[in-house]
Structures are given as C-alpha cells and as structure tokens.
Amino acid sequence: MAVSGAVLVFFLVAHMAGNLKIFAGAESFNGYAAWLREVGYPLLPHRGLLTILEAGLVVAIAAHMYSAIVLARRAAHARPVKYAARVKSRANGYATRTMRWGGVIIFFFVIYHLLDMTFGVANPEGHDATPFARMVAGFEPARWYITVFYVISVVMVGLHLRHGLWSALQTLGLARRYPVLKISAALVSAVLTIGFLVVPLAITFGVVR
C-alpha cells in the first residue's frame, strides 16, 4: 500500500510540474508533451519511456487498489459483528476517514480524466488535437461544470494525500517526529492541490487561452 502509494505520489508531483508548464504557453506545453514521447529516442522507441512510465503507473494503481481491497476485507473479517451504536470517531481527521471512499472517487475521476485528456474521447477537441488545445477546450468557461468536477476531485486527491503521505512513512517505519511530519504532509498535499487547481481554473477564467 505504502509503496504503491509512494509511486503514485511521485507521479503526481511530476504531473503537476508538467501541467504548470501550460503557463509558459502553448509551444512549451506541447513541446513538453512531445518530449515525453521522444525522450530517450533512439535508444528507446517512440513513446518508449512514456510507455514504461505508464506501465509502472498501471502496476502501481493496480497494486494500490489490490492492497486497499485486501485491507478492507481483512478489516471486515476482523469485525464480523458491527457495533449497534454509531461509532464515534475520536481521532481527528476527515482526511483519514475518507481514505477508502475517497480512493474510489479518485479512481472514477482518473477514468474520466483519461477519457478526457489522454484518449480525448470525452474532450470536445477530440483525440487528434494538441494537448494544449485539449486542455484549453476541456476547461473552457462554458464547460464550468467540468472544472467544478475537477476541482472537487483534486481536493479529494489532496485529502487522500494529506493522510496518505504521512501514513506511508508510518507504515514504512520512518515516521518519528509527528507534529513535523503531519505538517509536512499537509503542506505537500496543499502545494499539490493548488498546483493542480490553478491550471483548470486559469483556463476557465481565461488567464490561459
């Protein structure tokens, strides 16, 4: 769980950095997308590295979901009889309590997101447009509801990370100085959340067009 989660975190950081390039303009962004596909060429075939990365991502997501399901099933097994009274949470942390359902929501988001951005199926510009065009079209002001959906999802991701980052360190036995760690985890997830959010918001509000 922690290992696959950590892989996903690294992906997200890189992904955010990439997305932010949109502020550098269409060429830069498209160039980045192209570079992603050409890097390592001719050592690696076209889309070589990207494919490896994607494969890694798929494995990570699969492992992550698999472990989430195993854990949930073990938990269900460990408590066959539920409490009659509503169990009150004593630990603070909305983020913590929403890990499972949050994860599921993120999963659906990623599917939509892939259809939208990668395969272009759900994107007005379709599959053949440049990435930049797809982005701008995807979040155009008229499609504000898509932006809202993204915002909600990204916040969900942020929450997931806020607990997940710290939790992964704990699981790997690295967590010691709690206050520091918890604050760091919150900061990192806040940076990621904001970093992701500015892009669609910028487009929707017309800063990038």
Partner 1 sequence: MNLTLKVWRQSGPDDDGRLVRYEIEDVSPDMSFLEMLDVLNEGLILAGDDPVAFDHDCREGICGMCSMMIDGVAHGPQKNTTTCQLHMRHYNDGDTIVIEPWRARPFPVVKDLVVDRSAFDRIIQAGGFISVPAGSAPDAHAMPVPKADADDAFDAATCIGCGACVAACPNGSASLFTAAKITHLGLLPQGQPERGSRARAMVEQMDEEGFGGCTNTGECTAVCPKGIPLDTIARMNADYLRASRKSG
Chain residues in the site for partner 1 (CB under 8 A)? 1, 70-71, 74-75, 77-91, 93, 96-97, 99, 163, 166-167, 169-176, 178
End-to-end CA distance of the chain: 39
DSSP 208: -
- Chain CA centroid to CA 55, Å: 16
Task: Give yes or no for residue 146 binding ligand HEM (CB under 6 A).
Answer: no
Q: Which is nearer to partner 1, 89 or 118 (CB)?
A: 89
Which H helix or E strand runs over 92?
none
Q: Which is nearer to ligand HEM, 17 or 142 (CB)?
A: 17
* Cβ 82 to ligand HEM shortest distance, Å: 17
- Which one of residues 65, 133, 181, 186 is an interface residue with ligand HEM (CB under 6 A)? 65
The DSSP secondary structure of 143-160, one letter per residue, reads GHHHHHHHHHHHHHHHHH
Q: Using CB atoms within 10 A of its CB, is residue 76 exposed (0-12), middle (13-18) or buried (19+)?
A: exposed
Q: Which is nearer to partner 1, 82 or 145 (CB)?
A: 82
* Cβ 183 to ligand HEM shortest distance, Å: 17
- Look up residue 60 and give its two tokens: 């990570």
Task: Give yes or no for residue 104 binding ligand HEM (CB under 6 A).
Answer: yes
* Cβ 115 to ligand HEM shortest distance, Å: 11
Nearest Cα neighbor of 14 from 139, 203, 205, 195 is: 195
Alpha-carbon distances, residue 77 vs 96, 171, 183 (angstroms): 21, 21, 34
Task: Give yes or no for residue 122 binding ligand HEM (CB under 6 A).
Answer: no
- Which one of residues 95, 146, 154, 159 is an interface residue with ligand HEM (CB under 6 A)? 154
Task: Give yes or no for residue 71 binding ligand HEM (CB under 6 A).
Answer: yes
